[in-house]
Structure 1
Amino acid sequence: MTSALDATDSAPTHAELVRRTVNALGRIAHTDDWTKGMSIHYYLTYALHAGRGAYVVRAPLLWIDEWRRRWMAAREEGDQAAMATEKRYLHEQVLAALGSDPGVQVELWSRLPRWEEQGRRTLTASDIRKALGLGEEFRAWTEGLEAAGPRFDPFPVPGIPEGDELIALMEELRIPREDHADIAAAVDAVTDADSPWLWLLKRTLWLIRSRMGNSLSVPVGPFMSAHGTEGWWFYVVAFLAAAPQVREFHRSIEVPEEISAASLGVLGEKIALYRTGAGYGALVQHNFVMGVFCGRIYRLEQLDCVAWNGEVDVYVPHTAHPLTTVPDQAWADRVHAFLRRLPREYGKGAQWEQSAFTIRVDSWLLDPSLNHYLPEDHELRRFLAGLGNSRSRPDRHLTQDQRGLTAGDREAIQYTFGRYLGDLSDALSLTAETDVQHAVLTHLRAGHHWTRPAAGHSVLAD
């Protein structure tokens, strides 16, 4: 056995063949394809027993069926160590087969594509969760990906550039340079042909492409911080892969280049915001960024506009300094005129009156307490004045979270300090330098909390 291992490992083509054969066997071991197609058993057994004719006694095939029994038992028990042991055993057996009869390589190379396709077709959301060690909190997401698209790969993974071209793409999307190396490593790992992450990536990309511009949501999973580089940066890899299709969609509906670039740049801004607060990069607002890459969120006149069918929600990003936009009726009409280029479903429904819907600003900036801390000519008070007497509603989410902060508190800190914070004590420990930062902290230190009211202008839904 040792000589066979050494001899085969010295040939890169043998090593690649062995790796792909072992992975194909592991993927189809638990499916009906195992019993339907005996060719994979035949050729491995033929090689191992140095067969010389077209007939192989069935008895020698028992070795691989016995391996399958052990593999399945370990898989059902979730015993990763036992599965790894069985995979190493199978690897040695395939190496030995190639060593005893190198001619069998021709047959294996010719049949591998079909075996690999069988494996891709039969993988389920449950298989992926087991392979990646994903818990029950990932069930809805993975099953949503499985149910929403075709059962097996309808599209190849869009090519993600390498080297300098990948760096250029990350620069275009404003991803901090400190994170480039880790993201490049994640691209390689997630797009590996044998990686279970590829199952998730392909289905995510298929859904982004199929729902581009419309209001149908794409299933989005939790932040996978405990699942290696691949999990940490999974959605960033997906957005890098989707970027060419998003740009193509933007061109098809005549989105100006500067608006397209600013909108896609939200990806890098969110990563940079997390880095500012935590000291290292991550993307935890991937649900919001998904809306950008599905063509339903745009950066318009400093503001992020989320296009629903019956209304537009507008958010003020932390990068809007100085905030010069005036959210008056003319602004609302311009936003509506831009978004009318979306598919016809945009504009259906009514928010506050028949035949109309609302361009609505949701922000802590609308909290009336802000006026008590800032002079009348301040840019933020001018921003609020633009809303004038537009229809408004109070904040419906006043409850403090388990860490003592309301949604308005967190948004106020993000906007003024560009920081993600853990709890109220973290917020109170900050040092204020600007008048707006002083306003935010003075309000919190007085025992008050920031709210997130909404106000907006109605526009015709023609």
Structure 2
Amino acid sequence: MGVGVEEVAGLLGDDPALVEWLGELERAGEPPDELVIPTAETALTLLLRLRVPPQDAAEIAAGLPDLQRNPVLVWLVRRCAHRTAADVGGFRPGGSWPDLPDDWGRYFYVYVFLTVLPSVRAYHEQRDIPDDISWVTLAALGSAVESHRQRLGTGGMDAPFWIDLHFRGGIYLLGRLGFNRGDLGFLAPAVQAAGLPYGESEPALGVHAAPTGALDPAACDASFDLAREFFGRHFPEEPYRIARCGSWILDEQLAEYLPADSNIIRFQRRFRLAAETRDGDADVLSRIFGAAPGTDLATLPRRTTLQRGLIDHLRAGRHWKIGFGWLEL
């Protein structure tokens, strides 16, 4: 007897987020036969190629036989994968990604993206995207798995909605920086105030500082040069004249703790900053310290000027912000 929506819904219970998620999967339709969950052997090879740490790669691959024997999990993985694969080439938010109970698999979403992998690799090939850029971009999955273990001490994967963007062809790592396809959105008024005639739907590249080391200015310059060439060649129908960034790195309070010639301040000054900000404490704790909100600040390392400044700011009862800015390409 095959698995149906009603059977899966009964097992998920009445959690509204899970019910909404199941409805999204149902609306995505029946997955095509070629959308196949890989074998354990194939998965291990792919996981290492995606820079998943060996310990986690072995655990993930070892869990595949049990998953394959569970028709409900197979049903869910293939339908999640179908939702993403059906929108390969898109860059809008890809639906909800609820947390699932541990007994449904700590690596559930890793299995989803392994199943999507052939679809996004085919899309990259269709766009003539170089193999090295394709694989280093998709290796965001490995970084997410590594981050989860560093922060929480257990296997799992952070932020599947963010990895989904990579596996739909919406973002690319080009040297030191990542760039996602998108539009200007809510920053349009700030850009227009500067005298430029760009509206909310104007194509705009999102800029992301990958967690791979110092923000060396020369390396960042090279990434912007690569981005101009890359998107002009591989996405000529999307003319990108503006780039935008939203990050704790654009919090102007950092200038209180860092010298004017520091890499972070020099990166920040590339952008014209908008007035809008959002809460950034959780981002700072996660990205700089691998820590979760509520962590005792006394336990965090104070080895660098940046670490000391970030901690002292929080201990003084102040808060960090996510700042937003833009620049012309």
Fold shared, TM-score > 0.5 on shorter chain:
yes
1:173 to 29, 50, 59: 50
| Structure-1 separation of matches of 2:250 and 2:321 | 8
Once the 2 structures are TM-superposed, how far is the Cα of residue 448 of structure 1 from its aligned partner?
1.5
Once the two structures are superposed, what CA deviation does each residue of 1:49-75 show, in whole Å capped at 9, x if it has no partner? xxxxxxxxxxxxxxxxxxxxxxxxxxx
Cross-structure match for 1:158: 36
For residues 355-366 of structure 1, the aligned pairs below 5 Å read 358-366=242-250
Alpha carbons 1:365, 1:384 under 8 Å: kept: yes
Q: RMSD over aligned Cα, in angstroms?
A: 2.7
1:435 to 305, 319, 322: 305
Once the 2 structures are TM-superposed, how far is the Cα of residue 216 of structure 1 from its aligned partner?
4.8
**Is 1:420 the equivalent of 2:291?**
yes
Q: Secondary structure at the match of 2:215?
A: coil
2:274 to 393, 397, 400: 393
Write 1 or 2 for the structure with the bigger share of helix: 1
**Bigger CA radius of gyration:** 1
**Is 1:232 the equivalent of 2:106?**
yes
- TM-score (norm. length: structure 1): 0.61
| Structure-1 separation of matches of 2:229 and 2:116 | 26
For residues 328-407 of structure 1, the aligned pairs below 5 Å read 332=224, 334-340=226-232, 346-347=238-239, 358-385=242-269, 387=270, 390-397=271-278, 406=279
Alpha carbons 2:276, 2:324 under 8 Å: kept: yes
Matched positions, count: 310
| Structure-1 separation of matches of 2:261 and 2:284 | 20
| Structure-1 separation of matches of 2:173 and 2:157 | 18
Task: Give me the identity figure in percent.
Answer: 26
Cross-structure match for 2:174: 300
Higher RCO (CA < 8 A, seq sep 6+): 2
Cross-structure match for 1:62: none
2:63 to 167, 186, 194: 186
Alpha carbons 1:214, 1:345 under 8 Å: kept: no
Cross-structure match for 1:218: 94
Structure 1: 5+ residue stretches without partners: 1-23, 25-118, 348-355, 398-405
- TM-score (norm. length: structure 2): 0.83
Which one-letter code corresponds to 2:293 in the other structure?
G
> Residues 328 and 432 of structure 1: is their aligned pair in 2 closer, same or farther, counting only changes over 3 Å?
closer
Q: Secondary structure at the match of 2:328?
A: strand
2:136 to 259, 262, 269: 262
2:77 to 184, 197, 201: 201
Which one-letter code corresponds to 1:392 in the other structure?
L
| Structure-2 separation of matches of 1:269 and 1:293 | 14
Alpha carbons 1:186, 1:237 under 8 Å: kept: no
Write 1 or 2 for the structure with the bigger share of strand: 2
> Residues 306 and 195 of structure 1: is their aligned pair in 2 closer, same or farther, counting only changes over 3 Å?
same
| Structure-1 separation of matches of 2:275 and 2:31 | 47
> Residues 342 and 287 of structure 1: is their aligned pair in 2 closer, same or farther, counting only changes over 3 Å?
farther
Structure 2: 5+ residue stretches without partners: 184-202
Once the 2 structures are TM-superposed, how far is the Cα of residue 413 of structure 1 from its aligned partner?
2.5
Once the two structures are superposed, what CA deviation does each residue of 1:15-55 show, in whole Å capped at 9, x if it has no partner? xxxxxxxxx2xxxxxxxxxxxxxxxxxxxxxxxxxxxxxxx
